[in-house]
Amino acid sequence: MKHNLKTLALVVFSILTINAALAQEFLEVNPLELVKNPASYLEKDIKISAKFDKFSTLGLDYDRAFRDSKDYISFLIKRPDTLNQEYSIPLSELKLMLKRDEAEKLLDIESGDRVEITGKVFSAALNDPWVDVYELKNLDPEKEKEEDSGL
């Protein structure tokens, strides 16, 4: 019985350790704070909630924070401090890099859709944050369904 309890404890400990390693922790960041202090977030995993603006090529192929335009596409989010005005301005200081194969899965995303972005700040070149995006998640899936059904 004592041997079985030790074995069970070892198995449970191993499972908990593996699950903890798989559960990646992201620091929730306001995009304006990130732009204001990019070096503070260097090499950190971050999460941003924002409004999508558009796909772009901004920042691609820049030597000091290189991401090849053959493999990546960048995208812009809207500045959160201009959302309630007649116009919106993209937050071009924030360089968000997404692998092209991931971007191709998001062709239905539109300007103004709420998104959640997870990634890692890999550079602070030009005193701007450059982020490798792990996931760009559309938080308005019901909007996509409405359009698909013709509503």
> Could you give the CA distance from residue 37 to residue 31 in angstroms, rounded to a whole number?
10
The ranges assigned to domains in the chain are 26-148
Residue 2 confidence (pLDDT) above 60: no
pLDDT for residue 75: 97
For 39-53, the pLDDT digits (tens) are 999 999 999 999 999
> Could you give the CA distance from residue 62 to residue 128 in angstroms, rounded to a whole number?
13
Residue 58: pLDDT band (50, 70, 90) is very high
Helix, strand, coil shares of the chain, percent, nearest 5, are 35, 30, 35
Residue 18: pLDDT band (50, 70, 90) is very low
Which SS3 state, helix, strand or coil, does residue 29 take? coil
For 71-109, the pLDDT digits (tens) are 999 999 999 988 777 788 999 999 999 999 999 999 889
Listing DSSP states for 44-59 in one string gives -EEEEEEEEEEEE-TT
Structure tokens at 36: 């204001």
Fold of 26-148: OB fold (Dihydrolipoamide Acetyltransferase, E2P) (2.40.50)
